[in-house]
């Protein structure tokens, strides 16, 4: 109830400021002295107090040229007619490829199907680009899109930053929220894989930012690419890393079920409850309580991974746990390219006419 009241107040503020917050501010990132970030001790208590106005000091600019990490993800459109995913759905490893409705899996949601993700980092911002399946018939990005950040590289996320139903081509904090796992229970006893003994976790329970309200009103932003309406872009202050210059990052797309309180989803639900999107896993197929959801493996940002980091994308030359296979695609039409850095499987598309 508290959060509803907060959201209501927040939307009042946004409505009030709708005309005043957009452009006109610096297009280049401006380094400002950051306020002391909330400590994790303080974060156990909700720290957000609605304020009368949201005054932005620094607005994200354009992405740096060189990406810090790139990831490919399965294109479920290639097997959607068979009511299944082509790969990439391994519940016990917290990997989901299920941009479909539950049970029948006969509705495919291109706006929830992540195909590729890229991360860029500069001194002030972590920039994220999430490429969803381009669908001429429906370009509304009506889901939630986000990034999970694990800055101590132990496999459980510290932050989940989500943006709901992005529509603006300008950077905005509207609809953006940032959640912290202050009591460090995300992931349970086995981070990034299903716990043997399930325990109760409250997930990312501490909301540190929402719609421009929080200790730092400039913490997290979203926009839709002006050139590519299927691309969601996020910008998050590097302050969230609390001094770390390296992190693991996974990307998410979903709807209401992409809920900070349910993390890790692979601990909150049993495999039986969650179901599976791969028809080969016939004991668990089809998807059930976890549907309309997609995520990526985790990119290593700012360091060379050993390969043993929990949830990490397969490294080049390493036997890939999941191959990026376009089933049903005539091989002569299959176009694959290597990601720009070491962090992910080849990105393939089927150019069959
Ligand atoms: Ca996907
Ligand atoms: Ca962690
Ligand atoms: Ca776990
Ligand atoms: Ca927690």
- Give the ligand whose atoms come closest to the C-alpha of residue 43: 4
Instruction: Output the CA 222–ligand 1 centroid distance in Å.
Output: 20
- pLDDT band at residue 290, thresholds of 50, 70 and 90? very high
Percent of the chain with pLDDT over 70: 75
Ligand found nearest the CA of 189: 3
Q: How confident is the model at residue 135 (pLDDT cuts 50, 70, 90)?
A: confident
Rounded Cα distance, 280 and 278, in Å: 5
pLDDT, position 39? 43
pLDDT, average across residues 145-161: 96
CB atoms under 10 Å from CB of 139, counted, come to 14
Distance 205 CA to ligand 3 centre (A): 16
What does the DSSP 8-state code read for residue 341? S
Lowest mean pLDDT among 19-23, 82-86, 246-250, 263-267: 19-23
State the chain's mean pLDDT as an integer. Answer: 83
Q: Mean per-residue pLDDT for 211-217? A: 95
Q: What is the pLDDT of residue 50?
A: 52
Query: Separation of 157 CA from ligand 3 center, angstroms?
Result: 11
The alpha carbon of 187 and the centre of ligand 4 are apart by a number of angstroms equal to 9
Question: Which residue from 252, 246, 156 is spatially nearest to 203, judged by alpha carbons?
Answer: 156
Handedness of CA 32, 35, 41, 42 (dihedral sign): negative
Which residues neighbour ligand 3 (ion) by CB within 5 Å? 187-188, 190, 195, 267
Q: How confident is the model at residue 53 (pLDDT cuts 50, 70, 90)?
A: confident
**Distance from the alpha carbon of residue 95 to the mean position of ligand 3, in angstroms:** 12
User: Which two tokens mark 278?
Assistant: 């791969």
Q: Give the span between the Cα atoms of 137 and 345, in whole angstroms.
A: 29
- For residue 264, give the ligand nearest its CA: 3
With a cut of 60, say whether residue 218 has pLDDT above it.
Answer: yes
- For residue 293, the model assigns a pLDDT of 98
Q: What is the pLDDT of residue 128?
A: 98
Residues with CB under 5 A from ligand 1 (ion): 73-74, 113-114, 294
Give mean pLDDT, residues 43-47.
Answer: 49
Q: Count other C-beta atoms under 10 Å from residue 341's C-beta.
A: 18
Query: 28-32 — which CB contacts under 8 Å span 24+ positions?
Result: 28/61, 29/58, 29/59, 29/60, 29/61, 29/122, 29/123, 29/124, 29/125, 30/57, 30/58, 30/124, 31/58, 31/123, 31/124, 32/57, 32/58
| 71 Cα: distance to centroid of ligand 1 (angstroms) | 11
Query: Closest ligand to 76 CA?
Result: 1
pLDDT over 70 at 322, yes or no: no
Residue 134 pLDDT level (bands cut at 50, 70, 90): confident
Answer whether 58's CB lies under 8 Å from 30's CB.
yes
Q: Can you give the pLDDT at residue 342?
A: 40
Assign 351 a pLDDT band (cuts: 50, 70, 90). low
- Hey, how many other C-beta atoms are within 10 angstroms of the C-beta on 110? 20
Q: How far is the CA of 73 from the centre of ligand 3 (A)?
A: 22
Please give the distance, rounded to the nearest whole angstrom, from the Cα atom of residue 6 to the centre of ligand 1. 33
Residue 47 has pLDDT above 60, yes or no: no
Secondary structure (DSSP) of 139-173:
----SEEEEEEETT-SSS-SEEEEEES---SS-B-
Who wins on pLDDT, 187 or 327?
187
Q: Report the separation in Å between the CA atom of 39 and the middle of ligand 4, taken as the mean of its atom positions.
A: 15
Mean pLDDT score, 96-113: 97
Residue 52 predicted with pLDDT over 60: no
Q: What's the CA-to-centroid distance between 247 and ligand 2, angstroms? A: 9
54 pLDDT band, cuts 50/70/90, is confident
pLDDT at 32 over 60: no
pLDDT digits (tens, 9 = 90+) for 302-318: 998 888 899 998 876 54
Q: Are strands 299-301 and 247-254 parallel, antiparallel or unpaired?
A: antiparallel
Are the C-beta atoms of 157 and 146 separated by less than 8 Å? no
Q: How many Å lie between the centroid of ligand 4 and the Cα of residue 205?
A: 5
DSSP per-residue codes, 62-124: SPPSS-SEEEE---GGGTGGGTS-SS--BGGGTB-EE-B-STT---B-GGG-EEEEEEEE-SS
CA distance 31 to 28: 10
pLDDT of residue 6: 43
- Give, for 12, the enclosing helix (H) or strand (E): helix 2-17
Q: Which residues pair with 130 in a beta bridge?
A: 117, 232
User: Residue 305 Cα, ligand 4 centroid: separation in angstroms?
Assistant: 26
Mean pLDDT confidence for 254-268: 95
Q: In angstroms, what is the span from residue 97 Cα to ligand 1's centroid? A: 5
Nearest ligand for residue 249 CA: 2
């Amino acid at each position: 109830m508290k959060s509803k009241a907060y959201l209501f107040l927040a939307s009042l503020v946004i409505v009030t400021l709708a005309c005043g917050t957009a452009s006109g501010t610096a297009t280049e990132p401006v380094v400002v002295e950051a306020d002391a970030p909330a400590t994790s001790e303080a974060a156990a208590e909700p720290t957000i107090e609605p304020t009368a106005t949201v005054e932005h000091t620094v607005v994200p600019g354009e992405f740096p040229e060189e990406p810090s990490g790139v990831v490919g993800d399965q294109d479920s459109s290639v097997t959607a007619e068979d009511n299944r995913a082509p790969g990439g759905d391994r519940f016990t490893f917290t990997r989901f490829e299920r941009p479909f409705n539950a049970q029948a899996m006969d509705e495919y949601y291109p706006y929830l199907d992540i195909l590729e993700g890229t991360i860029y980092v500069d001194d002030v911002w972590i920039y994220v680009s999430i490429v969803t399946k381009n669908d001429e018939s429906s370009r509304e990005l009506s889901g939630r899109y986000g990034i999970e950040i694990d800055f101590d590289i132990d496999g459980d996320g510290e932050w989940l930053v989500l943006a709901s139903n992005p529509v603006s081509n300008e950077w905005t904090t509207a609809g953006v929220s940032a959640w912290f796992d202050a009591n460090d229970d995300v992931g349970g006893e086995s981070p990034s894989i299903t716990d043997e003994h399930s325990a109760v976790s409250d997930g990312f329970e501490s909301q540190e930012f929402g719609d421009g309200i929080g200790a730092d009103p400039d913490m997290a932003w979203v926009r839709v690419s002006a050139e590519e309406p299927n691309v969601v872009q996020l910008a998050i202050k590097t302050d969230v890393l609390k001094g770390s210059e390296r992190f693991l990052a996974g990307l998410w797309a979903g709807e209401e079920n992409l809920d900070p309180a349910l993390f890790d989803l692979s601990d909150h639900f049993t495999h039986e409850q969650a179901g599976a999107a791969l028809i080969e896993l016939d004991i668990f197929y089809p998807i059930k309580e976890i549907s309309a959801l997609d995520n990526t493996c985790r990119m290593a940002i700012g360091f060379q991974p050993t390969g043993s980091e929990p949830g990490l994308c397969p490294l080049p030359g390493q036997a890939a746990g999941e191959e990026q296979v376009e089933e049903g695609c005539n091989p002569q039409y299959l176009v694959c390219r290597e990601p720009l850095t070491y962090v992910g499987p080849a990105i393939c598309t089927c150019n069959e006419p």
